[in-house]
Amino acid sequence: MAITEALCDEMRQLAALYPQSRSALLPMLHLVQSAEGEVSIDGINACAEVLGITSAEVTAVSTFYTMYKRKQVGKHHIGVCINTLCGLLGGDAVYAALSERLGVGHDQPSADGEFWLERIECQAACTHAPVMTVDWEFMDDVTPATAVDIVDRLARGEVVESTRGPIIRDFAATAHTLAFPNDGLADQGSSVDDKMLAGLMIAKERGMSAPSAPAPAAPTSQTEG
């Protein structure tokens, strides 16, 4: 699919936000995914042209980070954490159930193009393990049954709320938010809960606090001999 002039205009807007325009490459790649459903060759070439760098440089970045896909992701991206804590608490079972439901393996799209399944090494949400994400929105404390139910509801077009954040939109919408974060959705949902704050609350109840940082040592003068 050819890159539109409107998309190129958005790329230039991103490039203008940074003292060095090439720093805009990561959000620009998310922008390409929001429009193309993948990091396409045309998207890579457009990024290179706007930033004044080579297509090889853009390709190197797009293949280094796993959030950028070189095949059509589909409507929804499903990520299941299988790292240590999530894995011990059922993450592998969650992934296996979703893999069977969707008929795909790691980093693959479903046959109908609606879903993409990925094993994630860490979602940075160990408090609510096992965790999965839908279009990078958190679904906490999942089980194989609840994870499959979420996918079933999405497949039926039902409204699904994330645990901490807005309702699930789709992969393209989230990709655009990753390029332009000020989407007005930051205050939707609850970002923290009692489970996440348990350690802090216990510390306050017990009057515990972190030790003060030591004062920096006074500089010493050196005399030449």
The ranges assigned to domains in the chain are: 5-64, 76-171
pLDDT at 225 over 60: no
Return the pLDDT at 223: 59
Residue 164, phi then psi, degrees to nearest 5: -135, 90
Pairing relation of β-strands 108-109 and 115-120?
A: antiparallel
| pLDDT band per the 50, 70, 90 thresholds, residue 212 | confident
**What does CATH list as the number for 5-64?**
1.10.10
Residue 119: what pLDDT? 96
Place of tokens 């609510």: 128
Average pLDDT over residues 165-186: 92
At residue 1 the predicted structure's pLDDT band, cuts being 50, 70 and 90, is low
- Range with the poorest average pLDDT among 36-40, 55-59, 136-140, 215-219: 215-219
Q: What own/partner pairs with CB < 8 Å and gap ≥ 24 does 99-105 have?
A: 101/148, 101/151, 101/152, 102/78, 102/151
Higher pLDDT, residue 14 or 182: 14
- Residue 222's pLDDT band (cuts 50, 70, 90): low
What are the CA-CA distances from residue 140 to residues 60, 71, 86 (Å)?
A: 33, 27, 11
Which residues are paired to 77 by β-bridges? 116
Output phi, psi for 167, to 5 deg: -65, 155
Per-residue pLDDT tens over the stretch 72-107: 999 999 999 999 999 999 999 999 999 999 999 999
Closest CA to 150 of 80, 142, 111: 142
**Who wins on pLDDT, 193 or 133?**
133
CATH superfamily of 76-171: Glutaredoxin (3.40.30.10)
- Average pLDDT over the chain, rounded to an integer: 92
Averaged pLDDT, 24-50? 96
